[in-house]
A and B are shown apart, each in its own frame.
Chain A
């Protein structure tokens, strides 16, 4: 009896099976990546390659279509890096991010229409409005957890879409709103797609850097403690409720900036860009790449955006292939593409090291399990 009273609150206790299997999962294939972003020369090398690759893209003459896909990927990735803070670090999945992006985008459009603000002037407002609503969207997480919360946020997104659609002149109803061009930034004309892409790319790289720094910081550690064991986190004095809401608000800043950039690059926004199904797609990208890895969200965004494009088949066939590919990746690579790649890489290097050394080390594995 007493043992039951002391049970930890389980995140997935909506289902007996999930609870019972949870322990098994915890001891499952969680890689190094779950502990925050450890610096290493490999990480630095990959980071350098990504920075060079992303910034060099326009000079590779990718064609208009590819470049605009890349721009979309960049905008999406900004939102995904925000989403990865509560999801990857604190372990709370929200499906509200398309909606939060929508707050950023509509804020930008309305401020431009009613107050003549340009992109830069509107950006702080986009970020703050999205952050405030991110906090509001996150509030139910104090009461409900796991998939209940995820579905609640999905529904909030759908609510927002309905409100935007029925918002009359203020939100432009189903047709949406138009925005002026970005104009020039530091004397560079943003009407040229390559320049607009580079602007987004810089924001995206910055958001990866910020996400990395958060993951490395003691704040990231605090969030991970909530993910790993909320009750223990509380017992050492962590105000878990406050940290959850703050994590959501921080992620909302990313979504707001992403929404602002999206609005100014598309120059036309409508409610359908910010509904629940778009949010689901974001969740897919993050999970596909791996929410707990630093390059996971970017990888997921690239795969999901470019996969149908690369296959270049009839749109319906491409959707079917996409769905099947998705199922295959999830079944074959649980934990995300990056985590699996990382594990394979580590196994390869370990084999190399092990053959160089005289046998593998057994640090700490000799202690017997008491009973």
Chain B
């Protein structure tokens, strides 16, 4: 039982990273229709950025802030320079993002190398409550994720900004007539989602070493959680992320780590077939009869 609870606790930090990935995907894919396979590379860059800065003597926290800001800026530039031209043809945007993913990955390999990179633990030590051990940094990751989720959720669902955003999604033409600047919203969402992915990477590297290839794996988990949750559903991503985090943790703990992704993917397929609008209902489910 103690092992089980311990694994549960450990799963939470894995779930956090998946959730950060999923939020970006659900916002960008769900709300703007851009399918960005390079979104995983943003996570990778966030982590690599922290590694570079920390290796050059910067503290973890300033390194994290700078790295996240840079990834957000990169997202902004890519939306302005690339993805805004593919809004009309989502398939082309999807293809361009594949190219982008290859470029970002190999630029990192070109400048540094393809080996895994790690930084010294920014916050070493554990808290013990009873027999359960909480690794401090993991707790920080969970708390930061919770804050990001809360901010995102309330911005999207409660604020005037979020209201205008959702209105513009329900009826783009009417929204444009009402003077809602949809193009700018798309840019902001894209940059914000990218920065969140960068944050995911910056937090990940505090827990595990990462390689330049981490993005390709994370992007699939990102798609999986956002589709399991229902596209555009930020709160749902938390639920789905927790489920996948648990699946990850438990299959690792109980001896079938090589099947971990199979469980996540299988779950996603089953849910998409039986509930195309996602487990928690997407704002924008696919066409069903």
Contacts and interface: CB of A to CB of B under 8 A. Distances in A.
A327 B91 contact: no
Given A162-B262, A322-B102, A144 B96 contact: no
A162 B261 contact: yes
B62 interface: no
A155 interface: yes
Interface in A260-304: 276-277, 280, 283-284, 287-288
A287 B100 CA distance: 16
A25 interface: yes
A13 B171 CA distance: 12
Nearest to A241: B289
Interface string A327-345: 1001100100000000000
Given A140-B269, A158-B265, A331-B85, A15 B90 contact: yes
A326 B95 contact: yes
Given A155-B268, A330-B92, A144 B286 contact: yes
A287 B106 contact: no
A320 B107 contact: yes
Given A159-B266, A162-B261, A320-B106, A11 B287 contact: yes
Contacts of B24: none
B110 interface: yes
A52 interface: no
Contacts, number: 169
Contacts of A280: 37, 98
B286 A145 contact: yes
Nearest to B256: A166
Interface stretch (B28-36, B128-136, B150-158): B28-36
B33 A18 contact: yes
A279 to B, nearest CB: 11
B258 A17 contact: no
A75 B126 CA distance: 55
A147 B262 contact: no
Interface in B240-289: 258-259, 261-262, 265-266, 268-269, 272-273, 276, 284-289
A288 B287 CA distance: 27
A28 B101 CA distance: 28
A214 interface: no
Nearest to B173: A20
A144 to B, nearest CB: 5
B224 interface: yes
Interface in A129-175: 139-140, 143-149, 151-152, 154-156, 158-159, 162-163, 165-166
A28 B86 CA distance: 13
Contacts of B32: 15, 17
B51 interface: no
A336 to B, nearest CB: 10
A370 B262 CA distance: 56
A151 B95 contact: no
B102 A323 contact: yes
Main secondary structure of the interface of A (DSSP, over half): helix
B110 A143 contact: no
Main secondary structure of the interface of B (DSSP, over half): helix
A350 interface: no
A140 B274 CA distance: 9
Nearest to A11: B287
B229 interface: no
A1 interface: no
B216 interface: yes
A146 B102 contact: no
Interface string B81-101: 010011111111011101111
A156 B105 CA distance: 24
B169 A16 contact: yes
A28 B170 contact: no
A67 to B, nearest CB: 26
A21 B258 CA distance: 42
Given A14-B231, A166-B259, A326-B102, 17 more contacts: A12-B90, A15-B33, A16-B171, A18-B90, A28-B88, A139-B273, A145-B287, A151-B223, A152-B269, A280-B98, A284-B98, A316-B110, A319-B102, A322-B102, A327-B82, A327-B100, A331-B85
The 4 nearest A-B residue pairs measured at CB: A15-B33, A326-B99, A323-B102, A323-B103
25 contacts: A9-B289, A15-B31, A16-B31, A16-B172, A18-B90, A20-B172, A140-B272, A144-B272, A144-B276, A147-B90, A151-B227, A152-B273, A158-B261, A162-B259, A162-B261, A165-B258, A166-B259, A283-B95, A287-B91, A288-B95, A320-B102, A324-B99, A326-B98, A327-B99, A330-B95
Interface of A: 9-21, 24-25, 28, 93, 139-140, 143-149, 151-152, 154-156, 158-159, 162-163, 165-166, 276-277, 280, 283-284, 287-288, 316-317, 319-320, 322-327, 330-331, 334
Interface of B: 29-33, 35, 37, 82, 85-92, 94-96, 98-103, 105-107, 109-110, 168-173, 182, 186, 216, 220, 223-224, 227, 231, 258-259, 261-262, 265-266, 268-269, 272-273, 276, 284-289
